[in-house]
Structure 1
């Protein structure tokens, strides 16, 4: 019998996160984290301020992850979803407005698509079900501090508009009401980039210079 082929075998060592994921027992996982500091995550020292199983391997096996951050004055998160998790969103300090669309078939009293709107202040929270379209905005002229907990070690994120406009024009035309190629190109070029947007009307009210 021929020896098994080595093609396709991993030639690089497994990351700590991967080792923790395939550990046989919780004891084996704990032994892969021998230092007390392995159980500490410093949000102030980590880009993105998001603790998931990749950035904080000690989370492997817990079924959860956490984000803590600051939404600047007039700042807004783009419309997005988390494909593998619900989100528990809490305001620690400041004020945040949110809107969420759960799924098709959830309608209001008039039979229209229901949009869940909240006005959150310090020490209040809301929930975005898994896969729900949602966005958050700071309407005030001061920072807001927020925390978002996920019952998943890897909740993921989907950015609705950029991913929609990644489709070819022939697919977008019927989806968008048969817009022309030029109109689609103009819309695609006007899409904001990044994980934080700025609300111009709010900036004017707050006297914030447009970046």
Structure 2
């Protein structure tokens, strides 16, 4: 008898608070506004047109964070087809394997040295880039991608997506919401592979960032308890 779901809480953890509109009624009204004049009437304050990334609860996270301005967090973006995220990566900070189902993503580095990996679909080669300051790369819609700051100093990058509701799917936490025997079969493993044990070690989505590879942690002198 297999467990139907390895983590009952994982599905909830895949949805961040940022994904939900702060004022759904305002977002709905902006979607159906008859004209630009009507949109402006719904956004009457100058402050409606400013997003302060420093006010985000994860701005000072020790592992880094994805700080997002989209239709949900900044209603003025509703219907404009754009999301902008500030990516803060701690030394060895990483954005785990994920994809955006509804948007193409460009990422530009301002500080640090970030390695990216992108896989567009089965059979195509993995694209590897090195984002040092003032360099940009592209992750087409639906492509799987991973990023890690390989420096021992923090990195700052800016992410832009061509949707105000791009969505993010973190691959490993998502996979671990299906039955254990399906996971085991997918990995081509039998009894020697314990999905429950492996799944418990997968970081939750959290701030969107985690501390990355053991090689980087060792090189930068990051203790296991810090990662």
Alignment: residue pair count: 192
Q: 1:94: how far off?
A: 1.4
Give the corresponding residue for 1:207: 221
Give the corresponding residue for 1:179: 190
Cα RMSD after superposing both structures: 1.7
Question: Which SS does the other structure have where 2:141 is aligned?
Answer: coil
Question: Which SS does the other structure have where 2:91 is aligned?
Answer: coil
Candidates 41, 49, 54, aligned match of 2:51: 41
Q: 1:181: how far off?
A: 8.2
Superposed CA deviations along residues 53-104 of structure 1, whole A, max 9, x for unmatched, are 0110000121101001311101111100001101010101111100010012
Question: Which SS does the other structure have where 2:222 is aligned?
Answer: coil
| Cα distance in structure 2, aligned partners of 1:43 and 1:14 | 21
Pair 1:81-2:110 in alignment = no
Candidates 158, 161, 169, aligned match of 2:169: 158
Give the corresponding residue for 2:209: 196
Structure with higher RCO (Cα < 8 A, 6+ apart): 2
Long gaps (5+) in structure 1: 1-12, 107-113
Q: 1:14: how far off?
A: 5.2
Give the corresponding residue for 1:134: 145
Give the corresponding residue for 2:38: 28
Question: Which SS does the other structure have where 1:148 is aligned?
Answer: strand
Greater Rg by CA? 1
Give the corresponding residue for 1:100: 118
Q: 1:208: how far off?
A: 2.2
Question: Which SS does the other structure have where 1:88 is aligned?
Answer: strand
Q: 1:207: how far off?
A: 1.7
Question: Which SS does the other structure have where 1:142 is aligned?
Answer: coil
Contact residue 31 and residue 78 of structure 2 kept, 8 A? yes
Contact residue 53 and residue 65 of structure 1 kept, 8 A? yes
| Cα distance in structure 2, aligned partners of 1:14 and 1:133 | 30
Question: Which SS does the other structure have where 1:78 is aligned?
Answer: strand
- Distance change (3 Å), C-alpha of 1:105 and 1:21: same
Pair 1:57-2:70 in alignment = no
Contact residue 100 and residue 141 of structure 2 kept, 8 A? yes
Give the corresponding residue for 1:109: none
Q: 1:118: how far off?
A: 0.2
| Cα distance in structure 2, aligned partners of 1:41 and 1:190 | 35
Question: Which SS does the other structure have where 2:164 is aligned?
Answer: coil
- Distance change (3 Å), C-alpha of 1:77 and 1:14: closer
Contact residue 184 and residue 193 of structure 2 kept, 8 A? no
Question: Which SS does the other structure have where 1:185 is aligned?
Answer: helix
Give the corresponding residue for 2:16: none
